[in-house]
Amino acid sequence: MNQAARVGIVLVSHSAALAAGAAELASQVAGGAVVVVPAGGTDDGRLGTSIDKVRDAIATADSGAGAVIVPDLGSSVLTVRALLAEDDTLPGLLAVADAPFVEGAVAATIAAAVGSDIKAVVAAAEEARNARKL
Amino acid sequence: MPGSSERSVTLAGDLHARPAGSLAMAAAGFESAIELQVGGSRADAKSVLAVMGIGAASGQEVTVRATGPDAEKAVAAITEIILDATKVGT
């Protein structure tokens, strides 16, 4: 593997605890090789989503190879979409993965850890829809 | 020149999430296709979710099978990770 920048991962959840926990898990499964940034809850710590938290998380996650955003449910998706539509100061390489939250986060992080490009990271996350756990 | 290689090891502990991650990341570094088999279940070693989904537990035999130009190296590396990661007490 070369030492080029890895794709970063942003986990958007209604719950700060859920986003933080998923980020901790994904990061540890990948041995800490990837920046996984949680963006959960509202600015005042309630359940919900914050466009500013997502914007900051993207800035932290991107180190030149772009960032893949994994939203949990409903308004997480809407918040991410609204941000991508309205903010033209964001990094050029951004993608949203349509994937189950925990499985998608883990699969995306492993793909990023081995140096996959942003398309392959999204594909790995989205393949998680077909992964059986039993 | 494509070759194939295979080795079976007995797990000393369960194959948890973290070792599944190490295994999938190591597998991604090989050109060969690498498969794990536990009983009747098979998993692509390069897919962390498939490796976790195979549910390999202590005492079970895991067969690592690789096909491709670096098959032998791949099987050696993956079996070592499995043995190392599932050592009791880690």
Q: What is the pLDDT of residues A36-60, one digit of tens each?
A: 999 999 999 999 999 999 999 999 9
Among B49, B51, B52, B54, the residue to mutate for chain A (most A Cβ within 10 A)? B49
Dihedral sign (CA B27, B28, B32, B35): positive
Buried/exposed B55-64: b ≥16 CB within 10 Å, e otherwise: ebeeebebbb
Instruction: Answer yes or no: is the ipTM higher than 0.90.
Output: no
Question: pLDDT class for B1, splitting at 50, 70, 90?
Answer: low
- Three-state DSSP class for residue B41: strand
Per-residue DSSP letter, B3: E
Interchain CB contact of B50 with A (< 8 Å): yes
> So what's the pLDDT on residue A2?
45
Looking at the predicted structure, is the pLDDT value of residue B90 above 60? no
Residue boundaries of the structural domains of chain A: 8-129
Least Cα distance to A25 among A58, A73, A70, A79 occurs for A70
Q: For residue B20, which residues of chain A lie inside 8 Å, CB to CB?
A: 29
CA gap B70, B84 in Å, rounded: 21
Task: Name which CATH class applies to A8-129.
Answer: alpha beta
Take residue B82 and report the two structure tokens written for it: 């499995």
Query: Are B29 and A103 an interchain contact pair (Cβ–Cβ within 8 Å)?
Result: no
Cβ distance B35 to B84 under 8 Å?
no
Task: Name which CATH class applies to B3-85.
Answer: alpha beta
The count of residues in chain B is 90
Interchain CB contact of B18 with A (< 8 Å): yes
When pLDDT is averaged across residues B3-32 and rounded to a whole number, the result is: 95
Least Cα distance to A51 among A69, A65, A66 occurs for A69
CA gap B10, B82 in Å, rounded: 9
> So what's the pLDDT on residue A3?
55
Residue boundaries of the structural domains of chain B: 3-85
When pLDDT is averaged across residues B40-52 and rounded to a whole number, the result is: 95
pTM exceeds 0.90, yes or no: yes
Interchain CB contact of B57 with A (< 8 Å): no
Looking at the predicted structure, is the pLDDT value of residue B2 above 50? yes
> So what's the pLDDT on residue B88?
64
Q: Which residues of A lie closer than 8 Å to B, measured between beta carbons?
A: 1, 25, 28-31, 33, 103, 106-107, 110, 113-114, 127-128, 131-134
> So what's the pLDDT on residue B89?
55
> So what's the pLDDT on residue B87?
79
- Measure CB to CB from residue A114 to each of B28, B53, B55 and give the nearest one: B28
What integer best gives the mean pLDDT of chain B? 93
Residues of chain A where predicted confidence (pLDDT) is lower than 50? 1-2
CA gap B54, B11 in Å, rounded: 13
